Amino acid sequence: MKPAPEAPRPPAPRLMPRPSLGDEVYELLLAEVIANRMAPGDRLSVDGLARQFGVSQTPIRAALIRLEAEGLVVKKHNSGYSVADQLSATRFRDTYDFRLLVEPATAAAAARHATPAQIEALRTATLRMGKLSSDTKANYSRFAVADAEFHGQIAEAAGNEIVRESLHRLYTHMHLFRLRYHATVAVDAVNEHDAIVAAIAARDARGAETAMRAHIEASRRRMEPCFNET
């Protein structure tokens, strides 16, 4: 008599990847800086932050090094870390001038060259940002990061590595989002992003260029009044 065949084993449960402790600390500090709960000029004590978050000094130092590279904190000899100043008037103007020079043309190139996978990735990015914008208070820093990644994806879809690298090195969105902590910034940006992606998906180069230009100009109008108050 043949033994009964073994029942198939259920698949082993898969563990979802989790961010490292250093990444979690970085996200917490980034949120505090972008929301201005850690204001420009505030001293950042490594020991004090370690006690505040209940971690060792190692992830605190790693997070501060990342924030320093992004220009959000500064380190001075013999005085430690502090929160960086807001954008200067010149930096604010030059940032938008640069973006208007390169990003509309980059969006047009993306409409011509983006692969179906890249277009789908842009759609996924806008959906994610839409979900984040539903609770701006909790997700403001995440939205700023996602916004930066979205614009980087467009440069990648355009096949322009120089533009992608330039936008990344400027950390434009993180600095701009410090100027205005308000839900309408995220909600309006999502609607404008949808228009850009729709034009890219339709292979409408002129429409993508126009939509990107309108988005950047609208962003400047949203940020400028609060910037002038700082």
In this predicted model, which residue has the larger pLDDT, 20 or 86? 86
Residue 88's pLDDT is 85
212 falls within a domain = yes
| pLDDT digits 0-9 by tens, 77-89 | 777 899 998 888 8
98 assigned to some structural domain: yes
Average pLDDT of 10-30? 70
Q: Which of 23, 1, 210, 187 is nearest to 111 (CA)?
A: 210
1 lies in some domain: no
Strand-pairing partners, residue 83, are: 73
Examine the domain organization and report whether 209 and 166 are in the same domain.
Answer: yes
pTM above 0.85, yes or no: no
Q: Which of 24-28, 48-52, 154-158 has the highest mean pLDDT?
A: 154-158
Are residues 172 and 148 in contact, defined by beta-carbon separation less than 8 angstroms? yes
Nearest to 99 by CA among 172, 203, 207, 29: 172
Quick one: 55 and 132 in the same domain? no
Judgement on whether residues 74 and 153 belong to the same structural domain of the protein: no
pLDDT on residue 230? 44
Domain with 194 in it: 89-229
Query: Do 184 and 135 sit in the same domain of this protein?
Result: yes
Strand partners for 82: 43, 74
Tell me the pLDDT band of 7, cut-offs 50, 70 and 90: low
Number of folded domains in the chain? 2
Instruction: Assess contact for 196 and 205: CB atoms under 8 A.
Output: no
Owner of token pair 């600095």: 175
Q: Which of 57, 83, 109 is the last residue of a domain?
A: 83
Q: Is residue 9 in some structural domain?
A: no
Tell whether 64 and 100 lie within a shared domain: no
Look at residue 2 and tell me if it is in a domain: no
Flag whether pLDDT at 4 surpasses 70: no
42 in the same domain as 78: yes
On whether residue 30 sits in a domain, the answer given is yes
Q: Assess contact for 101 and 160: CB atoms under 8 A.
A: no
Domain co-membership, 36 together with 105: no
Residue 138: the pLDDT is 73
State the pLDDT confidence band at 181, using cuts at 50, 70 and 90. low
Ramachandran class of 54: left when φ > 0, alpha when ψ lies in -120 to 50, beta otherwise:
left
Task: Indicate whether 73 pLDDT > 70.
Answer: yes
Same domain, 105 and 57: no
Given 38, 63, 83, which residue is the final one in a domain?
A: 83
pLDDT for position 154: 97
Same domain for 120 and 28?
no
**pLDDT tens string 106-151:** 999 999 999 999 999 999 999 999 998 877 677 888 888 899 999 9
How much is the pLDDT for 16?
A: 45
Question: 158 and 108 in one domain?
Answer: yes
What average pLDDT does this structure show over 167-196? 81
- Is 11 within the bounds of a domain? no
3-class SS string, the chain: CCCCCCCCCCCCCCCCCCCCHHHHHHHHHHHHHHCCCCCCCCEECHHHHHHHHCCCHHHHHHHHHHHHHCCCEEEECCCEEEECCCCCHHHHHHHHHHHHHHHHHHHHHHHHHCCHHHHHHHHHHHHHHHHHHCCHHHHHHHHHHHHHHHHHHHHHHHCCHHHHHHHHHHCHHHHHHCCCCCHHHHHHHHHHHHHHHHHHHCCCHHHHHHHHHHHHHHHHHHHHHHHHHC
Same domain assignment for residues 181 and 71: no
Query: What is the Cα 68 distance to its own chain's centre?
Result: 16
CATH number at residue 100: 1.20.120.530
* Beta carbons within 8 Å of 153's beta carbon, 6+ residues apart: 118, 121, 122, 125
Output the pLDDT for position 15: 44
Residues 79 and 102 in one domain: no
* pLDDT score for 47: 93
Report pLDDT digits (tens) over 164-173. Answer: 999 888 877 7
For residue 140, the model assigns a pLDDT of 81
